A and B are shown apart, each in its own frame.
Chain A
Amino acid sequence: EAGVAQSPRYKIIEKRQSVAFWCNPISGHATLYWYQQILGQGPKLLIQFQNNGVVDDSQLPKDRFSAERLKGVDSTLKIQPAKLEDSAVYLCASSLVREQYFGPGTRLTVT
């Protein structure tokens, strides 16, 4: 069974630029999550999708972050414009009913 795929794996941008991350969940997994993991901290949930609907986006900074999950499969997380404090690893996870399975993450560096 293929795992959760994410791309790119690494991205370096300057502040005020925009960036997008892509996630392909495990086939058949209805629930998809985006987490932000700042260096030295545990992952923090940004947004949760159930199929293509948003379940929880209470911790998503909506003035600069946006996410979508078209057709209930792949998802894209966008930051526009980026700030220095957005430097982090962005993890995507998916679940069918129980455990969450995580992708390898995208490491974003904002300079």
Chain B
Amino acid sequence: AQSVTQLGSHVSVSEGALVLLRCNYSSSVPPYLFWYVQYPNQGLQLLLKYTSAATLVKGINGFEAEFKKSETSFHLTKPSAHMSDAAEYFCAVSDDYGGSQGNLIFGKGTKLSVKP
């Protein structure tokens, strides 16, 4: 069975500092991995996805994530935090490209706070 573990339910950084949100996965098949962001009272928005094409994936809003098979990790990073990055971030795994053949299994989420 697939699962996702997000380390740290709450991360706080200063504006301009590095953002690092951790995600480890478990999957018996080559996984597809996703990061979603959720702003208050809104649905989830896809930040980026790993589909085995490249291990370093670039997404929207300056975020990127690196797939490391040996560490079963898919950590999300951003070099310089902005106040608008404050939101909740979810890592998800699928045995399919998130489409009609597979379901998304989500982690519990990490709430990112950005201090001025």
Contacts and interface: CB of A to CB of B under 8 A. Distances in A.
Interface of A: 4, 9, 30-31, 33, 40-45, 48, 50, 55-56, 91, 93, 95-105, 107
Given A42-B90, A42-B106, A96-B99, 7 more contacts: A42-B108, A50-B100, A97-B99, A99-B99, A102-B43, A104-B42, A105-B42
Contacts of A42: 4, 90, 92, 106-109
18 contacts: A31-B99, A42-B106, A42-B109, A45-B104, A48-B103, A56-B103, A91-B43, A93-B44, A95-B99, A95-B100, A99-B46, A99-B49, A100-B99, A100-B104, A101-B46, A103-B43, A104-B42, A107-B41
B99 A40 contact: no
Given A42-B92, A42-B107, A42-B109, A97 B43 contact: no
What are the 9 closest A-B residue pairs judged by CB atoms, nearest first?
A42-B106, A102-B43, A102-B44, A31-B100, A104-B43, A103-B43, A45-B103, A43-B106, A97-B99
Nearest to A95: B99
Contacts, number: 63
A55 to B, nearest CB: 7
B99 A105 contact: no
Interface in B15-57: 36, 41-46, 49
A95 B98 contact: yes
B23 to A, nearest CB: 11
How many chain B residues sit at the interface, stated as a range, is 20 to 34
Interface of B: 4, 9, 36, 41-46, 49, 90, 92, 97-100, 103-104, 106-109
B96 to A, nearest CB: 10
B100 A55 contact: yes
Contacts of A93: 43-44
Nearest to B51: A98
Contacts of A97: 99-100
Contacts of B46: 99-101
Nearest to A51: B100
B43 A105 contact: yes
A86 B57 CA distance: 36
